[in-house]
Amino acid sequence: MVKKILTWGSIAFLVFFVAYRPESAAQVAKSIGSGLADLADGFTNFFTSLVS
C-alpha cells in the first residue's frame, strides 16, 4: 500500500514540476542525461582498458 502511494505521489510531483517549472525540469533532465552519458563513457573506458 505504501509503495503504491509513493509511486502515485512521485508521478504527481513530476507532473506538477514539469507543469509549473518547465525550465527547471528541463535542466534536471539535461543534468541526469549528462550524468548517464558520463557513466556510460566511464564504463566504456574501463572495459576498453581491460581488453587492451
pLDDT bucket at 30, cuts 50 / 70 / 90? very high
Instruction: Using the predicted structure, report yes or no on whether residue 52 has a pLDDT greater than 90.
Output: no
The CA distances from residue 36 to 1, 27, 31, in Å, are: 31, 14, 9
Share of the chain above pLDDT 70, in %: 100
Give the mean pLDDT of the chain.
94
Contacts of 17 by beta carbon, 8 Å cutoff, 6+ apart: 24, 25
What's the number of domains the chain is made of?
A: 1
Q: How many Å apart are CA 13 and CA 7, to the nearest integer?
A: 10
Please write the tens of the pLDDT for every residue from 1-22.
999 999 999 999 999 999 999 9
Q: Which residue range is the domain that position 29 belongs to?
A: 2-51
This model's pTM is above 0.75: no
Spacing of C-alpha 34 from chain mean position: 9
Per-residue b/e over 29-49, b at no fewer than 16 CB within 10 Å? eeeeeeeeeeeeeeeeeeeee
